[in-house]
Amino acid sequence: MTDASPPIRRLADWDHDQLLDIAAEYDTPLYVLDPSRVQENYRRFSAAFLDAHVMYAAKAHTGQAVLSALLEAGADIECAAAGELQRAIQAGADPDTLQYTAVNPPDRDLDYAVDLASDHPGFTITAGARDTFDRLESRGYDGRVAIRINPGIGTGHHEKVATGKDAKFGIPYDEVPEVADDVRERFDLVGIHAHAGSGVLHDDLDDHCRAIAKVAEMGREVAGAGEGLEFVDFGGGFGVPYREDEEPLDMDVVGEKVREAVGDLDAQIKLEPGRYVVADAELILTTVNTVKETPAATVVGVDASLATMIRPAMFDSYHPIRNITAPEREDYPVAIGGPCCTSADVFATDRPVARPEREDVLAIGNCGAYGYELANQFHSQPRPAEVAIDGDDVRVVRRRETMADVTRVEDEAEIGSASAESDR
């Protein structure tokens, strides 16, 4: 049975008085992270899959506070880029436990991974293209590898995350046995890997399990044709409810369905939750600066933007929004957007919110997954600070950028250019 922590944290469950104090002290826009919630989510997921090796998919949130909390909870880390490997090691991960899932990896990423493996033979590289295996061999690598396969079934909340049917990801399913024979001759083939999609809830669960069953079947075929496999990695993809009327997954039921889909498998089952672990453990605080009445809509301007969190603009994602300054006010339909000069910079349209007024603080929920990870400097906006809460204690885990940070790489380039000129 899973543990007793609630399966989803809604905006109303956060301490509004504490959030208002935090906004006043640390300014907005601001990310607020609860590392203990990250650990609760990881433990709940792991309890539903006691027979599996659960690795956190770092790409959802690579913040040191998140990675450190998960390592403390006993999690291993799966990384999709060299930078994620470096951040995981910096947070305290043992490189021999890391798994690197390469997707069209740049040369510098492969160089980093191969160099890391030279001192850490337990490190595993997953590749999804024949060409990537050739590039590894050309670097003298002959260590642990897994083959990423494409099951031809994509699932998830948006077509842009349905990786299981996207040709970009993995070896075509019918080609896997042939590729496995070739890979075995050159490397230590320890596993196969697949990831069908992201944000899977009840409606997508059956399709997700069909993809899992297909991957498991290929695992049995590949294992039977050689000396077995150490693991079959089914990726992550399990979602959380972003909308208030959506129900969270019952992880005990999900665990049963996944085990049924896998069937008999003489290899370790691996799973890589990302979104499920971090999504509801973080929110954004933002301050209202403009309220504009128009014939089309009441437009509420805030200091957060698509540079703070791009998911609504990129995926048309829904995030709950709550006026924590005055939640008792009557709900009123508003459009909420930021200061960027594009119509995409909108967090909500025609959304009932306790009627906002200038200087009110709004909370945007479920921002832990791919929130700060996709933050950017559009319009030369410095990226926001991030604080972590531990009961009544609050600490800055990522300081707010300044304009000097935004221009530093250019300033340093000019300094470097001037130094080179003076050396001539």
Output the pLDDT for position 398.
Answer: 98
Catalytic residue among 209, 340, 341, 367: 341
Residue type, 208: H
Say if residue 311 carries a ligand binding annotation. Answer: yes
How high is the pLDDT of residue 207?
87
- Catalytic residue at 367? no
Closest Cα to residue 136, out of 147, 125, 120, 150?
125
Task: Confirm or reject CATH 2.40.37.10 for domain 1-34+278-424, answering yes or no.
Answer: yes
What is the CATH number assigned to the segment(s) 35-277? 3.20.20.10
Proportion of the chain in helix, strand, coil states, percent, rounded to 5: 40, 25, 35
Find out whether 275 is annotated in a ligand binding site: yes
State yes or no: 139 annotated in a binding site.
no
Segments making up each domain of the chain, as ranges: 1-34+278-424, 35-277
Q: What's the whole-model pTM score?
A: 0.94
* Residue 56, pLDDT score: 98
- Listed in order, strand segments (DSSP E) in 115-252 are 124-127, 144-150, 155-156, 171-172, 188-193, 197-198, 231-233
pLDDT of residue 422: 56
Q: What percent of the chain has pLDDT over 70?
A: 94
The string of DSSP letters for 225-245 reads HTT--SEEE----B----STT
74 labelled ligand-binding: no
Query: ∠ at Cα 284 (289, 318), nearest 5°?
Result: 95
State residue 155's pLDDT score.
57
Tell me the C-alpha distance between 334 and 293, whole Å.
10
Question: Which pLDDT score is estimated for 19?
Answer: 98
CB 226 within 8 A of CB 200: no
In b/e form, how buried is each residue of 322-357, taking b as 16+ CB within 10 angstroms? bbbbeeeeeeeebbbbbbbeeeebbbbeebebbbbe
Look at residue 259 in the predicted model and tell me its pLDDT: 96
4 — alpha (psi -120 to 50), left (phi > 0) or beta?
alpha
Which pLDDT does position 416 carry in this prediction? 64
122 annotated among ligand-binding-site residues: no
pLDDT under 50 in the chain at which residues? 1-2, 156-158, 160-164
**For residue 49, what is the DSSP state?**
T
- The reply, when asked if residue 273 is annotated as ligand binding, is yes
